[in-house]
A and B are shown apart, each in its own frame.
Chain A
Amino acid sequence: MNNNIPLRITLDVIVFVSVIFGWWFIAIPFGIIGAWVFPKYAELPIAGFIYDVLFGIGRGLGILGYAYTIGAVILLGIAAYMKIVVKNNS
């Protein structure tokens, strides 16, 4: 288990600052990195939810207003699954 706290904090800052400014193209890659490096990277779905709250929900988009939240959960699930596959094969 990776417990590199400074790295985690750095990734969190990058992701949340990107979310505040709407830079999804920065938040997603760094979020994937965090989901891969750290177990139970809950910051990713939280960042996705904050992005939806700021730019998605309440704009009349319906379920699409939660796209980044759903996407973040899916990415987290894929990263967890890939880690299991890689661990079993190594």
Chain B
Amino acid sequence: MTYLRPHNYARTKRNRLIATVAIGVVVIIGLTQFFAPYFFPTFFTALARPFWREEFALEIGAFRPTSNIIAENESLKMEIADLRMNYSSSSVAILESRYNDLLSMFGRASTSPTQYKLGSVLARPGALPYDELIIDIGQVDGIASTSKVYAAEKVLIGHVKELLAHSAKVILYSSPRETYDVLIGAKQIPARSIGRGGGGYTAEVPHGSLVQVGDIVTDGTLYGRAFGVVVSVLTDPSNPFDTVLFAVPVNIYQIRFVLVDLPKSNIRR
């Protein structure tokens, strides 16, 4: 005789209960994670934190030993000291001195203290239209209508436009439509800078000239004075030229003093 195995209703009911509870727990956890995502991390981290000891982590090797970090720090300090020795200001000063000696040998000595006249800026861009300055030195001080004007650290910024007896108007090379021939970057790529206003310049260089942001733009003279710093390079594959945007490295809206070139006949020796 065949007996049918009786159905275990209690077991089925228990399994259903377990499944319901499991699904309920998952739903509750999901909703908690959705509405309060940091509840569980905060709770369990607070429970586990008393067990997280730095000494224990060190013993099991979870962190690098302090001695290794100290040794690495000393090694980095030595490397910094070596770099400072190799590229110290004294090294730069030595190179600069040798460069000036070389120029002197060929009668092209660098600046002398009496080659420039210091002028105070009476009005600057913002108070004047375009990129112009009014300075407090003029014809009586020995400057000429062709004199070049420099900002701090001998940055060429413009030239005298109008000359009066005791004052002068200076137009900056960053003024719109003002042009100046410059050299860009370490490869000294020749270009013509065109003023954009607000202390900015633009120039075109052949495509692939490898001009980079941060390259120094110089004035093209023997002394290679700073003229600007490249801030952007615009490349268009369909254009054989790249557009280089660079800016004067000083804030023209805050210039207080300028140096004005004196004509050679006016230089006192």
List residues of chain A with CB under 8 Å of any chain B CB.
20-21, 40, 42, 49-50, 53-54, 57-58
Contacts and interface: CB of A to CB of B under 8 A. Distances in A.
Which 7 interchain pairs have the tightest Cβ spacing?
A53-B40, A20-B48, A53-B44, A58-B41, A53-B41, A20-B51, A50-B44
Contact of A57 (B18, B22, B40): B40
Given A20-B51, A50-B44, 14 more contacts: A20-B52, A21-B51, A21-B52, A40-B18, A42-B22, A49-B40, A53-B41, A53-B44, A54-B45, A57-B33, A57-B37, A57-B40, A57-B41, A58-B38
Contacts of B33: 57
Contacts of B29: 49
Nearest to B40: A53
A33 B38 CA distance: 32
Contacts of B37: 57-58
Do most interface residues of chain A lie in helix, strand or loop, or is the interface mixed? helix
Contacts of A20: 47-48, 51-52
B44 A54 contact: yes
Contacts of A42: 22
Interface string B30-46: 00010001101100110
Nearest to B51: A20
A21 B45 CA distance: 11
B239 to A, nearest CB: 41
B43 to A, nearest CB: 8
Interface string B45-75: 1011001100000000000000000000000
A40 B33 CA distance: 25
A54 B48 contact: yes
Nearest to A23: B60
A53 B43 CA distance: 9
Nearest to B18: A40
A85 to B, nearest CB: 19
Nearest to B33: A57
Nearest to A40: B18
A21 B50 CA distance: 11
Contacts of B47: 20
Contacts of B38: 58
A42 B26 CA distance: 12
A49 B28 CA distance: 13
A40 B18 CA distance: 9
20 contacts: A20-B47, A20-B48, A20-B51, A21-B51, A21-B52, A49-B29, A49-B40, A50-B44, A53-B40, A53-B41, A53-B44, A53-B45, A54-B44, A54-B48, A57-B33, A57-B37, A57-B40, A57-B41, A58-B38, A58-B41
B63 to A, nearest CB: 13
A51 B155 CA distance: 61
Contacts of A49: 29, 40
Contacts of B44: 50, 53-54
Which of B37, B40, B52 gathers the greatest number of chain A CB atoms within 10 Å? B40
Contact of A54 (B18, B22, B41): B41
Nearest to A46: B25
